[in-house]
Structure 1
């Protein structure tokens, strides 16, 4: 069975032009995150918990962009809309899987900032390399465990001819809505997945930052308070970038009704897979002094050798 991805319904005449910024952001996202991974891996001074978690986030960002953006660009530029059922389901799985893994990594980064600010003397003993590795493995295992059933949920359905997906890439409910069967199980599981994975992660992240703020405001020195909060600035910006579009899509689909045009949903979904991956390395590069110093040192070394 072959499906047809429509791109952004209602904006077909602008696909070529929309693809230009998406392609630019995709290139910046891939190059920026690969460079960030290379920098963290090659510089021993950056082998600290915060940067190791950041390298995990960069890997997830590269995978998210490369899973979706090439097909989006093929649709917009070459009108390559067809995709096989197997390829569609594979893309669906990896999108939801990477999203769940990224959410877990952001939670781990919030825990990292909590330990660094609330228990600074025990920071290196709590977040050892072994513990960080186990957290990374746990994030992957959890993502795989909760997203793998989605494959069976779409394969169990009976399809009877409808093959047009009003989207630029394949996602769970987009495939399920093409079935002739009752998709109540798919809807319930999708909502449960969002609430128990993303919802709980957001609750734990909020709790971590509440405890961080309580600790920071007990510090008598204003300069010390600012320094402590500044270490959380990059992570807080990344959290907003990651969860805001997801919350918009979730709430708009269920409560927006016809108030929000369908093409707005799809446009936000398209930007979501390239904008956060593009901005994450830039945010950390701008707001993290250690990364800035290593970038300057690296380029000065390269220019000297040339």
Structure 2
């Protein structure tokens, strides 16, 4: 039973019953219902965002996320295997194939370089598992780039293999003056005494002493790049471009037997021994260049001399005597 409330009427000196209007009652009831509904809604929203009240859809999404994490872990393990396989191929490429064909290896920093575009992975940022997805995507990109570089490298090696005969014919492989025409091996590659200044300096080729007019032979197939006397000290000289990074130089000639632009074969007579330019006596000064650097010609005489002859010429060439130019 509801309590009856009274108020004191001071004018009539009596207690009177408080009468609540029906409109107010309805307002109180409506306010109570509204507050209850709002409280219930807020409670429902809070429960939805707690792990204690998951909908079937939420549980399905959670399972999918866990499966994706597992798939990413499996993918990374597979990428480890692919990475090991690529490294093995790169090792053979650099140290076997490229060494065999006398080609410079591809640097590791060039093979392993990623992408520098800062906006490339922008769309992957801002999620709960951003780091996992981001790192995996970057690994895939690097592996893809490595495979592209290796594919191009193997295409190049295949091209070199097809041109193997041309390569072998182009490499300087014989002496430019025949042994039977030699007076002596005057000077080899290395530091020697200059005949004019008597100062010890680098001698960048080999000197073959022979009579004036002795034939000089091209040591490999190629194209005559120069046949003139415009280089200081060399006198009449010939430069042959063999390709694959090789060039040879023949200096102090008495005359030429070829001209610039002419294609020649190994063993062709290209000129004759002389003493033009900065020379003390008739001889041929011979140089071999690989990729722009001077190398020891002694390493390129396997084509027309025996092992015994190579040992003999090697001993003479390594003596630190006086050069003839």
Shorter-normalised TM range: under 0.3
Bigger Cα Rg: 2
TM-score (norm 2): 0.23
TM-score (norm 1): 0.24
Q: Which has the higher helix share?
A: 1
* Higher RCO (Cα < 8 Å, 6 or more apart): 1
